[in-house]
Amino acid sequence: MIVLLRSVLGFGPIPKHRTSAGAWLSRNGIATTKVSVKGGQADAVHLSDLPEEVRSAYELRQIEAAGLDGGEFDAEAHDLFAAATPHMRKVALRKAEIARFLVKAGVRNGRGVTRAVETTAQATFGKDLTNRQALRRISQAVEGVDPVNFAPALLHDYARTGSPEAEISEEAWSYFMTTLRDAGPEFPLVQAWRDVRDVGAKCGWSWPSYSTVWKRWDALPEAQKLHARLGREAAVKALAMPVTRAKTSIKPLEWVSLDGRTLDFWVDFGDGKPVRPLMVALIDSATNFVLGYELDRSENAVAVGRVIRKVCMEHGIFDRLYPDNGSAFASHYVAGGAKHKWRGKGKAEGDVVPLGVCHHLGIEMTFAIPKNAQAKAAERTFATISRTIDDRPEFKGAHAGHAPGAAPDDSIVPVAFDVAARVIQREIERHNHEEGRKGQGARGRSYAQMFRDGLAGRIVRRPTSQQLYWASLIYTAASVDRFGRVHVGTWSYGGPETQDALLRHHKQGQILIGRDPDNFEAPAVAFDSDGYLICKGIEPVKAGAYDSVKGALEAAKNRKAARQAVAAAEAANGYLTDAKMAAALAALDTLDTPKGSEPEPKAKVVGARFGGTLKPERKAVEKPKAATVPEEFLRNMDAAIAAKLAGGERLA
- Decide yes or no: CATH 1.10.10 for domain 170-239: yes
pLDDT at 426 over 90: yes
Highest-confidence range of 55-64, 380-389, 390-399, by mean pLDDT? Answer: 390-399
Round to whole Å and give the CA distance between 349 and 67: 91
**pLDDT, the chain, mean:** 80
Determine the pLDDT at residue 479: 92
Instruction: Domain ranges for the chain, please list them.
Output: 2-153, 170-239, 251-399, 473-541
Domains 170-239 and 473-541 agree in fold: no
Determine the pLDDT at residue 392: 85
Q: For the chain, what is the radius of gyration of the CA atoms?
A: 50
Q: What separation in angstroms does the CA of 158 have from each of 102, 130, 218, 304?
A: 20, 21, 16, 62
Q: Identify whether the C-beta of residue 176 lies closer than 8 Å to the C-beta of residue 216.
A: no
DSSP 51: -
pLDDT at 159 over 50: no
pLDDT in tens, 531-551: 888 998 898 887 654 444 455
CATH superfamily of 251-399: Ribonuclease H-like superfamily/Ribonuclease H (3.30.420.10)
Instruction: Give me the sign of the Cα torsion angle 122, 128, 134, 138.
Output: negative
SS3 content of the chain, % helix, strand, coil (to 5): 45, 15, 45
**DSSP string of 591-645?**
PPPPTT-PPPPPPPPPPP--SSPPPPPPPPPPPPPPPPPPHHHHHHHHHHHHHHH
pLDDT in tens, 473-525: 988 889 999 888 999 888 889 888 888 899 999 988 899 999 988 888 889 99
- Nearest CA to 96 out of 160, 18, 150 is that of 150
Using a 10 angstrom Cβ sphere, with 0-12 exposed, 13-18 middle and 19 or more buried, the burial of residue 335 is: buried
pLDDT at 294 over 80: yes
Please state the φ and ψ torsions of residue 360, each to the nearest 5 degrees.
-70, -30
Mean pLDDT of 137-148: 85
pLDDT at 153 over 60: yes
473-541 CATH, one of 3.30.450.20, 3.40.50.10860, 2.30.30.130, 3.40.50.720: 2.30.30.130
Mean pLDDT of 399-424: 81
- Cβ atoms within 10 Å, residue 139: 22
SS3 283: strand
Determine the pLDDT at residue 370: 64
pLDDT in tens, 93-104: 888 888 888 888
